[in-house]
Amino acid sequence: MLTLQFVAHAEIKKLSSGEKINRILNLVKEDKIVLVEGRLKPMEETELIQRTMEGINKNFKGIELCTVYPEIKRESVMDKFTRSVASALTGVRSGLTVIGPATVIKEIKRDPNKIQLLTTNGLNRKRSYRLIGKKRRR
């Protein structure tokens, strides 16, 4: 099962870079794809990569990171995916950062239908969004 978790700007804006990265990495290590509203700062991106490298082990093979800039049109699976998910979930126009566990993303790349299933089935329904939201608050 794929789990998406949306992290709103309001949730992390008061956190330090380190705390923000902790929050994101902990979620990713639970095999969740994390959608962070807005973008990370360049130094936060490199810090995220460093911390990811420190955490690599048998079960955690690293991350796929993707920043979606609304003004850039790209055609990779990940981007199509995030574009649809992002607009469905947030309507945010100022960008979105998607961070997922490398193993999960690899699986999606191998079989993009999995995403299709997720985006058409899950996200058009308000309910699934609320589900994700609830989980977050726990």
Partner 1 sequence: MIKKVKGFFRGLLSIFRKKKHIKLGLYGPPNAGKTTLANKISMDWLGESVGIVSKIPHETREIQVKERIEIKGKGGKKISFNLVDTPGIATRIDYEDFLKYKLNKTEAKKRAKEATKGVIEAIKWLDNMDCVVVVLDATLNPYSQVNLTIIGNLAAREIPVLVIGNKIDLKKAKVKNIENAFPQYKVVGLSAEKGINIEEFYDALFEVIK
Q: Which residues bind partner 1 (CB under 8 A)?
A: 41-43, 45-46, 49-50, 52-54, 56, 61-67, 72, 74, 76, 102-103
Q: Which two tokens stand for residue 11?
A: 């949730």
Write down the least CB distance from residue 132 to partner 1, Å.
Answer: 23
CA distances from 6 to 25, 72, 73, 111 (A): 13, 22, 22, 23
Backbone dihedral region for residue 39 (phi beyond 0: left; psi -120 to 50: alpha; all else: beta): beta
* Shorter beta-carbon distance to partner 1: residue 55 or 122: 55
CB of 92 to partner 1, least distance (A): 19
Q: Which lies closer to partner 1 via its Cβ, residue 11 or residue 44?
A: 44
Minimum CB separation from partner 1 for residue 134, in Å?
Answer: 30
Cα 5 to its chain centre, rounded Å, is 7
Closer to partner 1 by CB, 40 or 132: give it: 40
Question: Judged by CB, which is closer to partner 1: 2, or 102?
Answer: 102
Min dist. Cβ of residue 16 to partner 1 (A):
18
User: 50: burial class by Cβ within 10 Å (0-12, 13-18, 19+)?
Assistant: exposed
Beta carbons of 36 and 7 less than 8 angstroms apart: yes
